């Protein structure tokens, strides 16, 4: 008798289930967007935004899955499946940029999130190319990611490292990100700091400035949330965030991409930027 095929791992199964759900959401959104029915007119704009969001989610999911699979098999080359996941992530990220621009404003922060996701893909490919070599490996990929992150940061309103946050009295003078973008900006600033650090000692001061901006933005948000009377501490049965743990996540992301051991810190699901509405 033929041996039964190997069972899917739980992660692989979850990936496939998630992708099927995203495919279904995308198909429904496209059907609404293209419908000529009068009752669908009001939903058309939201449908276009959903198409962009789904493409971004697919890119993030493919990217994380490829990195996670590789880390479970330390010391080996990328499998064909993992290479396919990285290729899919690149394709989906490009589709997310196109779909976000199609919603009407090419300078909208939503486009910036998709552009930053494309940068994440290039960073991942560079780090994975350096597996076992202790370095970044693909200098061209890191250089391209640098340009993409800058493109995204411009759309977040932070073309230079901000020295203030939206709640500060000198927010405008300090170049603070708008309040509704403060967390997505913190993620992008941290990851851009890592790219700068990997680009050489001559960019260390730039990296430090972006890293400090990310930490300030993150600390400002979660230090206030954990002090709020509306937040119930974990020890009392609540689900308040551990602000120190969140700070560590941002600090790790900004720390560097020069070693494979840091890959997960940069690409972990915690650090996947939320879609900005």
Domain limits, the chain: 13-226+243-255
pLDDT of residue 254: 53
Whole-model pTM?
Answer: 0.75
Q: Say which residues have a Cβ less than 8 Å from residue 100's Cβ, sequence separation at least 6.
A: 52, 56, 108, 110, 111, 113, 114
Residue 270: pLDDT band (50, 70, 90) is: very low
Q: Which of 231-267 are b and which e, b meaning 16 or more Cβ less than 10 Å from the residue's Cβ?
A: eeeeeeeeebeebeebbebbbbbbbbbbbbebbbbbb
Q: Which of 58-97 are b and which e, b meaning 16 or more Cβ less than 10 Å from the residue's Cβ?
A: bbbbbbbbbbbbbeeeeeeebeeebeebbebbbebbbbbb
Q: Indicate whether 218 pLDDT > 70.
A: yes
Point out the least confidently predicted range of 161-165, 202-206, 215-219.
215-219
- For 3-23, what is the mean pLDDT? 73
- Do 142 and 126 meet the contact criterion of CB atoms below 8 Å apart? yes
- pLDDT > 90: what percent of the chain? 22
* Chosen CATH of 13-226+243-255 out of 1.25.40, 3.90.1690, 1.20.1530, 1.20.190: 1.20.190
pLDDT of residue 69: 67
Between CA 252 and CA 149 the distance in angstroms is 18
Residue 134: pLDDT band (50, 70, 90) is: very low
- pLDDT > 70: what percent of the chain? 68
pLDDT of residue 73: 57
pLDDT tens-digit map of 229-264: 443 334 444 444 444 555 555 555 555 443 333 333
pLDDT tens-digit map of 143-201: 888 999 999 999 999 999 999 988 888 999 999 988 888 888 888 898 898 888 878 78
pLDDT of residue 179: 85
pLDDT of residue 2: 44
């Amino acid at each position: 008798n033929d041996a039964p095929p190997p069972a899917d791992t739980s992660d692989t199964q979850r990936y496939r289930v998630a992708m099927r759900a995203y495919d279904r959401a995308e198909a429904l959104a496209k059907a609404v967007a293209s419908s000529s029915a009068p009752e669908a007119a009001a939903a058309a704009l939201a449908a276009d935004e959903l198409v962009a969001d789904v493409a971004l989610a697919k890119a993030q999911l493919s990217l994380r899955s490829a990195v996670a699979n590789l880390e479970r098999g330390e010391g080996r080359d990328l499998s064909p499946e993992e290479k396919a996941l990285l290729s899919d992530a690149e394709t989906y990220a490009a589709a997310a940029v196109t779909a976000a621009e199609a919603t009407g404003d090419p300078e909208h922060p939503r486009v910036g999130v998709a552009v930053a996701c494309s940068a994440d893909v290039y960073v991942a490919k560079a780090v994975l190319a350096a597996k076992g070599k202790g370095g970044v490996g693909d200098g061209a990929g890191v250089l391209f990611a640098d340009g993409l992150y800058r493109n995204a940061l411009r759309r977040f309103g932070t073309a230079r490292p901000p020295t203030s946050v939206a709640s500060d009295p000198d927010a405008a003078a300090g170049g603070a990100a708008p309040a509704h973008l403060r967390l997505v900006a913190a993620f992008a600033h941290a990851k851009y700091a890592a790219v700068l650090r990997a680009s050489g000692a001559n960019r260390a001061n730039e990296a430090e400035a972006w890293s400090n901006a990310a930490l300030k933005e993150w600390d400002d948000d979660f230090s206030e949330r954990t002090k709020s009377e509306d937040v119930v501490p974990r020890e009392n049965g609540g689900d308040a965030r551990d602000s120190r743990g969140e700070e560590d996540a941002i600090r790790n992301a900004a720390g560097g991409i020069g070693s494979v051991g840091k890959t997960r810190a940069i690409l972990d699901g915690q650090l996947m930027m939320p879609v900005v509405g």
